[in-house]
Amino acid sequence: MSEYCASRYNHYLKHGGSWIVYNAVSNATAILSEGDCAILRGRKENLAGLADADVREFKRGNFIVPADLDEVEAVRLKLNQIRYSSRTLSLTIVPTMGCNFACSYCYEPQGSSDWMTPETEDAVADFAKNQIARCGYKGVNVTWFGGEPLLKPEVVYSLSRKLMRACKEEKASYSAMVVTNGATLNNTMARRLRRYGVSHLQVTIDGPRAVHDMRRPFRDPSQSSFDTIVRNVERVRERIPIQIRINIDKTNLDRVFELVDMMRAKGWLTGEHACAFYLGYTRVWTPVCASISSQCFSFGEFLDAEIQFQVDMIARGYKPTNLYPRKEALCSAACMNGFVVGPEGELYKCWSDVNNPEGVIGNVREPLTTTSRVLKWLSYDPIEQSSSCRDCGVLPICAGGCPAVAIDQIRTGGRITSCSPWKTRMRKKMDLFLIQSAANRSEPSHSQLLPTDAVDSAEVPVEVC
Amino acid sequence: MDWIVQPMAAFDAYGADGDGADTAAEDNCACRGGLTYQCQCTGGLVTCTCVGGLGS
């Protein structure tokens, strides 16, 4: 075993009297014996003493790695594989900047409410087709965004047809989802969206009626946007999966459970057509919404609020999601395969740049060229540019966080603050996962280990080493 | 050693649009890694939740 050593991406946690090891490369977790844990934690190059029967499994979990492997470089290789992947062309399409909502925290500059023209639709489809042919993409994934893309769904249908035809001709797969405010949803629309490859919708509801209507009102506020959305979600959720996003800040966090309880009462959270929901981070993405800065959480505060929310969910009998570390892809803004397409066919790399002339990197009608604006994104390398990323134990599951935030912070000499919650809150989050797993009797491998009466024991001491 | 989450059950390296080696978990992932920022999938353990970083 002298040729192996413990991975630098191992995290050791003491829980319920047992040692747990999590590895950020394999994203796997296992229970260790005291002896094995002592050997691994010693980071001895000579791992003699590990139970022979377990060595193969230790390798499979990446808990031990060849001693001469530069693990940071291995992560860099993975990130580069993603950056230059020819698997999926990722398009976020903004068919209009027009919107019927006036959200208090909207970060998009006010733009024309004109819609993408049929001629631009053709150009977008040609762009996708050329990209597939040139780069060998095996699929195209579209996120419909806005403005509000479903104010005029005919445009979404029309461009979907063109894109699906282009994919068929190039033998590429096609998939899509829609980020919508939900105000115009109906059954016919849901059926047609499914036909046009839309797998699911994301709809934002920010709390009970009074809270939501204050934060996300119609431009004409004579109607309750909350009532409209709730009615529409009720209508369509059996026809198309819906994820509910709840954007939180200091002004509405304490009202979120009123919404969650309502969703449960309406049957939205169980059964075949259950809606998933999650908390979104409200922040000042652009100067457009600078006025909300005082009500926003810092990112750290948001992470703590999210954890407390999950604790409260368990205490209230809900099953929270997102408890286990997830591998986060390098943002498509920092990848060759990711583009945001504006209503006039203009191209951006990042959603937060939409309708900002300084963020435009080209147009679907023109050949792509390498400019400083493109390089700003494609040269983003957290390992090279940030020592805190290079030395970080969760780099493989974080991939450097949001490039839009990190690039700006690196440029100004600041410290990157968009880190994965697992960097600073591994103990609390893994503890919750273990507790919830224990409660889930359908996962016997989990429940063997853990106390089942630990619902209120979010403060069970877990050591992270 | 006893597994709690096995490597193959965990979401593989970087999502369905990642390294070209999809796990079954990725194949079953509703979002297919398509969202711009985060694809939060944890395979068969927890429901798949896709999170658009800047979703409105």
Tell me, letter by letter, the H, E, C secondary structure of chain A: CCCEEECCCEEEEEECCEEEEEECCCCEEEEECHHHHHHHHCCCCCCCCCCHHHHHHHHHCCCEEECCCCHHHHHHHHHHHHHCCCCEEEEEECCECCCCECCCCCCCCCCCCCECCHHHHHHHHHHHHHHHHHHCCCEEEEEECCCCHHHCHHHHHHHHHHHHHHHHHCCCEEEEEEEECCCCCCHHHHHHHHHCCEEEEEEECCCCHHHHHHHCCECCCCCCHHHHHHHHHHHHCCCCCEEEEEEECCCCHHHHHHHHHHHHHCCCCCCCCCCEEEEEECCCCCHHHHHHHHHCCCHHHHHHHHHHHHHHHHHCCCCCCCCCCCCCCCCHHHCCCEEEECCCCEEECCHHHCCCHHHCCEECCCCCCCCHHHHHHHCCCHHHHCHHHHCCCCHHHHCCCCHHHHHHHHHCCCCCCCCCHHHHHHHHHHHHHHHHHHHCCCCHHHHCCCCCCCCCCCCCCCEEC
Q: Could you read off the pLDDT of A88-117 as tens digits, one per residue?
A: 898 999 999 999 999 999 988 888 889 999
Q: Is A71 on the interface with B (CB under 8 A)?
A: no
Burial class (CB in 10 A: 0-12, 13-18, 19+), A459: exposed
Res. A177: pLDDT tops 90: no
Per-residue model confidence (pLDDT) at position A97: 95
CB contact under 8 A, B41 and A326: yes
Q: Is B28 on the interface with A (CB under 8 A)?
A: no
Q: Which residue has the tokens 């959200």?
A: A103
Q: Is A78 on the interface with B (CB under 8 A)?
A: yes
Instruction: Compute the average pLDDT of residues A337-357.
Output: 94
Residue of chain B whose Cα is closest to the Cα of A25: B13
Residue B33 DSSP code: T
Of B5, B19, B51, the CB nearest to A81: B19
- Distance (Å, whole) CA A69 – CA A164: 44
Amino acid (1-letter code) at residue A200? H
Per-residue model confidence (pLDDT) at position B13: 38
- Distance (Å, whole) CA A200 – CA A172: 20
CA distance B52 to chain A (A): 8
CB contact under 8 A, A199 and B30: yes
Q: Which residues of B touch A81 (CB under 8 A)?
A: 14, 18-20
Q: Binning pLDDT at 50, 70 and 90, where does residue B42 land? A: very low
Q: Which residues of A touch B22 (CB under 8 A)?
A: none
Q: Is B13 on the interface with A (CB under 8 A)?
A: yes
Q: Binning pLDDT at 50, 70 and 90, where does residue B48 land? A: very low
Per-residue model confidence (pLDDT) at position A327: 64
Q: Is A143 on the interface with B (CB under 8 A)?
A: yes
Per-residue model confidence (pLDDT) at position A404: 87
CB contact under 8 A, A241 and B17: no
Residue of chain A whose Cα is closest to the Cα of B47: A321
CA distance A337 to chain B (A): 10
Q: Which residues of B touch A241 (CB under 8 A)?
A: 30
Q: Which residues have a Cβ under 8 Å from the Cβ of A134 and sit 6 or more positions away?
A: none
Residue B35 DSSP code: S
CA distance A120 to chain B (A): 22
CB contact under 8 A, B39 and A328: yes
CB contact under 8 A, A332 and B36: yes
CB contact under 8 A, B55 and A204: yes
Helix axes A118-135, A153-169, angle to 10 degrees: 30
pTM: 0.86
CB contact under 8 A, A106 and B50: no
CA distance A291 to chain B (A): 17
ipTM computed for the complex: 0.81
Q: Would you list the DSSP string of B7-29?
A: TTTS--TT-TTSSS---HHHHT-
The more confident residue out of A332 and A149 is: A149
- Distance (Å, whole) CA A239 – CA A275: 12
How high is the mean pLDDT of chain A? 87
CB contact under 8 A, A331 and B56: no
Q: Which residues of A touch B10 (CB under 8 A)?
A: 26-28, 324, 327
> What spatial distance separates the first Cα and last Cα of chain B, rounded to whole Å?
44
CB contact under 8 A, B18 and A276: no
Q: Could you read off the pLDDT of A247-258 as tens digits, one per residue?
A: 999 999 999 999
CA distance A360 to chain B (A): 17
Q: Binning pLDDT at 50, 70 and 90, where does residue A2 land? A: low
Of B34, B40, B56, the CB nearest to A141: B34
Per-residue model confidence (pLDDT) at position A345: 98
CB contact under 8 A, B33 and A142: no
The more confident residue out of A16 and A344 is: A344
- Of A106, A107, A125, which is closest to residue A165 (Cα–Cα)? A125
Distances (CA, A) of A234 to A213, A327, A445: 18, 32, 37
Lowest mean pLDDT among A359-373, A399-413, A451-465, B28-42: A451-465
CB contact under 8 A, A85 and B20: yes
- Of B53, B12, B41, which is closest to residue A331 (Cα–Cα)? B53
Lowest mean pLDDT among A132-136, A231-235, A312-316: A312-316
Res. A126: pLDDT tops 60: yes
CB contact under 8 A, A445 and B38: no
Res. A408: pLDDT tops 80: yes
Instruction: Compute the average pLDDT of residues A162-191.
Output: 95
Q: Could you read off the pLDDT of A178-235 as tens digits, one per residue?
A: 999 999 999 999 999 999 999 889 899 999 999 999 999 999 989 999 999 999 999 9
Per-residue model confidence (pLDDT) at position A35: 86
Amino acid (1-letter code) at residue A427? R
